[in-house]
Chains A and B, each alone.
Chain A
Amino acid sequence: MAIETDLDLMLRVRDGDAASFEVLLRRYRLPLVGYFRRMVRDQGLAEDLAQEVFLRVYKSRERYQPDARFTTWLYRIATNLALNAIRDRRDEVSGSAGDDDEGGAILERFIDSQPTVEQQLVRRDRERLIRQAVEGLPENQRAAVILHKYQEVDYRQIAVILSVSESAVKSLLFRAYEALRLRLEPLLREGVI
């Protein structure tokens, strides 16, 4: 059975097919929550925002026009929500110990073998450095890098999502990757674990 495209599914959702919305939910729940998790760090807020994206998609189903990729539309909504959430939380204290612990607990689920306590600590520490390096980027650079690296969105799509030109996206990515290379130089020397 052929995999239904996002476009087909969304057109059916527009016609009132609830089952197609379920397929889209299952297909994009992990990428969206992951995207928000990286953008706003907080898992609870990430799920709230992802839920809001699905709700907005559903609300605007009748106005959906298939003139752009579904993912472009989806991440455009998501990015707007994420940037608003970041601005709302700007004054809040950054880097709480609780978040670090949560991040570490999450990371442990992806460790294949039975790592030693020391290995777990190293992994946790490296992940914290990476996260801090990405979070230290300006908002637009952060969104561009997360969309490009983690969500695997093409830079042309990113231009539409961020409402900037393609050359502006390239410029954002050049600066962001260069900044990350400098910040993460110790990890680059050590190599990937």
Chain B
Amino acid sequence: MKCLETESLISYAYRLMDEPAASEVRVHLGECPRCRGIVEQYGRLDAVLGEWKTAEPTAAFDGRVRQAVEAQQAGRAARWGWGWSWARGLALASLGILMIAGGVWLAQGRRRVTNLSQVAVRQPRPTVSAQNPVPMAGLRSPGIKPHADVRPSEATAETQSASSSLNEDKDAQALEDYDLAANFELLSEIPKGERRVVN
């Protein structure tokens, strides 16, 4: 009869094998005194190992665990509190930045409107008349020259005055666009026969 592997005997002794395999070992042990002796030895080892006892926890143990848990809870609550205050601060700071940015934006918009209204005051909407059939005589519009009825010296002086005012303005391009747009309709109304170019 062939003896079983030691691993099989240990597995049997320490319940590391499932029942079908354990049944086979049990049958073999009934017929093999050597293998039975080895299994008994592992059984004694199990009993000897059981002699190693350990102590109960000290009386203070439970209290220490409770204290640690409570400290953890308190720390967590503090972290939450700090988190909320931090979030509140961030929200307030964001709101402040938004308000400042909004104020700056509004101020810039108002200044732009003021500039445009100043230009409008400086350059009253021209009207077509016998003395000034070309309404754009005093305005700086590319390709348009003053009417012959207006004396060149007067027209030049007026134009220079308007140009110097405009040159002072930082937003000259925007104003040019404004002039063209504002006067395009009037220009288109000038009769062809009256349009004369002064050299």
Contacts and interface: CB of A to CB of B under 8 A. Distances in A.
Contacts of A106: 53-55
Contacts of B16: 155, 170, 173
A107 B45 CA distance: 19
Interface size class of B (residues with CB under 8 A): 20 to 34
Contact of A43 (B46, B47, B51, B55): B55
A177 interface: yes
Interface in B75-108: none
Interface string B1-37: 0000011001101101000000000000000000000
Chain B interface, >50% SS class: helix
Interface in A57-110: 58-59, 106-107, 109-110
Given A37-B55, A47-B57, A58-B69, 5 more contacts: A38-B54, A59-B72, A106-B54, A130-B48, A193-B51
Interface of B: 6-7, 10-11, 13-14, 16, 41-42, 44-58, 61-62, 64-66, 68-69, 72
A-B CB proximity, top 6 nearest:
A106-B55, A34-B54, A37-B54, A33-B57, A192-B47, A130-B52
25 contacts: A26-B62, A29-B65, A33-B56, A37-B54, A43-B55, A47-B57, A47-B58, A50-B61, A54-B68, A55-B69, A58-B72, A109-B55, A126-B51, A127-B51, A130-B48, A130-B52, A131-B52, A134-B52, A148-B14, A150-B52, A170-B7, A177-B14, A181-B41, A192-B48, A192-B51
